[in-house]
Structure 1
Amino acid sequence: MDPLGAPSQFVNSETLPCWTDAYEDDQVDSSRNQLEKEQDGAASSPFPYRKDINAKVILWKGAVALLNCTAIVNTSNETLTDKNPVSESILMLAGPELQEDLQKLKGCRTGEAKLTKGFNLAARFIIHTVGPKYKPKYRTAAESSLYSCYRNVLQLAKEHAMSSVGFCVIASAKRCYPLEDATHIALRTVRRFLEIHGETIDSVVFAVSEQEEATYKKLLPLYFPRSLEEERRSLAYLPTDIGNADGEPVVPERQIRISEKPGLPDDGSDHELEVDLSFIGSHAFARMEEDVDKQRRLILQGQMSEVALKKQHQRNYNRWLSRARTEDLSDIAALRALYQTGVDNYGRTVMVVVGRNIPVTLIDMEKALLYFIHVMDHIAVKEFVIVYFHTLTSEHNHLDSDFLKKMYDIVDVKYKKNLGALYFVHPTFRSKISTWFFTTFTVSGLKDKVHQVERLQQLFTAIAPEQIDFPPFVLEYDAREYGPYYSSSPSSPAL
């Protein structure tokens, strides 16, 4: 209570529910999910479920100036005179002494953080920072600067042994930073900091408006999943760039290769070292880039280096992956044409493709390719095999060679490297000819990995029956053509 008996307008951060407690209705039985995860070998998120970290995170709808915590964050401009709603409310409640202290700071550069007292605020300190002005043309520079804002604020809090920090949304609307993009950077930077320095801070509060709250609620599960089930669901929605170990944006163009022995071939062997030049920051040298049109001409002339071609291919694949993680592909998923099952005799993940479930003439094949990338990206990081059931397919289910070539050209090199085998089950004479032609003249390096499987009994020499979820019609066809091989049938895939 205030001296005159009126309720205090300030809110004690210690009384606010943490991220997990505030939305506990969304919780899933974690022990059950851990068991399921171990059984099906599901991929782990780079931001795994951590109850201890979630307990330090608070999402609160309200003005950051009203928070009673060790420090709150003020977002301003380079002269610390910005008139945005956050700054104005902090200045009004802190009193005239704050204005005097701000003048002594003599400004603040973009990405930096500076400290003043809280004066009449409930918070003991105010950490002032300057977010970048956003322009699509200089997106990379803006991302790096915004990361620096959050990182430098947290570093100051650590250095001054602050137990709690209240963040406003640093990328203000006046600076034109897209809210969702900015939120990704804010959340992953805080997450990485808590992973490394969590023992130094008790709580981090994200103070947001009503509009901002919706975006934070949407993205918080990606970086702070509240259960193993939420971790699994969120994995598909993470952006392509999740930053380095500190959450800092990764810029491939800032990495150069230095050879210990100049003149040796660029064959990726151990004598080469990777050097990260991200410390250059926003200096003009870091923004220099070769003429894009010249690069295209060199490609056409066959003169661009193999390394440059690989980088271009990787950027192209990353664009497809980004689309795959954001587009609605539920109609393709409903076809049940691609799913993960068990492991083969070598412990490699088995992926099943059901040809009859692909109505080539009725669906958007570009979306089908996006769904393939969406499902396979995390599978292909280690060795895997594909079992393709050609069983009872018709003309409406046949993938033409142009589509297959496009898919083969687009996917990341890890797909080709880690594909151990492709089992073509119940092939027809026509499909055998098409497969031979495709693997001989259209793509290279695939022919030796394709195995024609006339009957399921042959497949079981490589993959045990219990490791495959069979579509019922495949079992029925094989039993009808070649006779049953066991008394009970495996269960059909549950998707």
Structure 2
Amino acid sequence: MKAKDMSQEERLEYLIQYLCRDSVRYKSLRVEKAERRATLRSLMNIRMPGPVSEEFLEIQDAFLQQEAAEKGIVQVEAIPTIQEAYGINGKLGSRISLWQGDITRLSVDAIVNAANSGMLGCFVPCHGCIDNAIHSAAGLGLREECGEIMERQGYEEATGKAKITGAYNLPCRYVLHTVGPIVYEALTEHHCRQLSSCYESCLSLAEKNGLDSVAFCCISTGEFHFPNEKAAEIAVETVREWLEHSRIERVVFNVFKDEDLEIYEKVLRDRLQ
């Protein structure tokens, strides 16, 4: 049966069965019906890079694209600028936006993924990090491309650097993967310079690839423990300095938590008014 002729439930069943057969450890996995979607995500999360069949890709893509449509795709043109939303009338007020929600819903030229140095995505089943969310919504093709990039490179990605990949089943065109600093104890100036470099590296890749819009997540503030307010200050200041000599039309600061929304609202008013 063709993917387009299958229901979401039939696609889900096919994908789970394929990944179970593909796995040494989970060949005989028994799945309760209520747990099937979490099971699929978990099986995708733990799978190492490697080819899959064309049939699998066709059915996976149909399944994930239907899920994306049901979540609701947000066009960058529909997101108000900080000038429109907050009355911030500085010279960059019409080129910066603040948006709260799931970054995997955004139809922009590129979204930014807070990656780890391995650059292959999160392998923890159904983990709550943005790396896991992006790879889960994009599908297995994203990890495969990341694996090819890292195999050619031959070493882990340095903190502050970035790579660009396709977006696969995400509504954006590209994903910019950057490795933020990990703050184990006290925050240092070195950490701050590394975080600024993450934003610069992503914006540089966007420029080189002719992209007009970029959506940044709150890099390093989750699992990597960078203080949220300082991270927002660095993000806004680095983007402000870059946009003053850039052709990029729109930068979206994407937040998920209410705490980060409040922080960015304050920082944007203080720094860009």
TM-score interval, normalised by the smaller of the two chains: 0.5 to 0.7
Q: Distance in 2 between matches of 1:201 and 1:175?
A: 28
* Larger relative contact order (Cα-Cα within 8 Å, sequence gap ≥ 6): 2
- CA shift, 1:135, in A, is 4.2
| Matching residue within 192, 208, 211 for 2:255 | 208
Q: Which residue of 2 aligns with 1:57?
A: 96
SS in 1 for 2:160: coil
Q: Distance in 2 between matches of 1:173 and 1:149?
A: 15
| 8 Å contact kept, 2:105–2:171 | yes
Matched letter for residue 76 of structure 2 = S
- CA shift, 1:211, in A, is 2.0
SS in 1 for 2:142: helix
Q: Distance in 2 between matches of 1:212 and 1:138?
A: 19
Matched letter for residue 90 of structure 2 = R
| 8 Å contact kept, 2:104–2:133 | yes
Deviations 1:314-354 (A, max 9, x none): xxxxxxxxxxxxxxxxxxxxxxxxxxxxxxxxxxxxxxxxx
| 8 Å contact kept, 1:84–1:174 | no
Question: 1:442-453 counterparts in 2 under 5 A?
Answer: none
Matched letter for residue 215 of structure 1 = I
* TM-score calculated relative to the size of structure 1: 0.38
| Matching residue within 86, 97, 100 for 2:144 | 100
Question: 1:35-184 counterparts in 2 under 5 A?
Answer: 50-51=90-91, 53-80=92-119, 81-82=121-122, 83-106=127-150, 107-137=156-186, 139-184=188-233
- CA shift, 1:115, in A, is 0.6
Q: Which residue of 2 aligns with 1:11?
A: 74
Q: Which structure 2 segments of 5+ residues have no match?
A: 1-64, 151-155
Q: Distance in 2 between matches of 1:188 and 1:138?
A: 18
SS in 1 for 2:245: helix
Q: Which residue of 1 aligns with 2:61?
A: none
After the TM superposition, which parts of structure 1 deviate over 6 Å for at least 4 consecutive aligned residues?
none
* TM-score calculated relative to the size of structure 2: 0.68
Q: Aligned pair count? A: 197
CA pair 84-7 structure 1, distance change in 2 beyond 3 A: closer
> How many percent of aligned residue pairs carry the same amino acid?
32
Q: Distance in 2 between matches of 1:13 and 1:168?
A: 15
Matched letter for residue 94 of structure 1 = A
SS in 1 for 2:218: coil
| 8 Å contact kept, 1:75–1:172 | no
Q: Distance in 2 between matches of 1:3 and 1:74?
A: 22
| 8 Å contact kept, 2:110–2:176 | yes
- CA shift, 1:23, in A, is 2.1
| Matching residue within 67, 86, 92 for 1:23 | 86
| 8 Å contact kept, 2:71–2:105 | no
- CA shift, 1:172, in A, is 3.0
Question: 1:272-287 counterparts in 2 under 5 A?
Answer: none
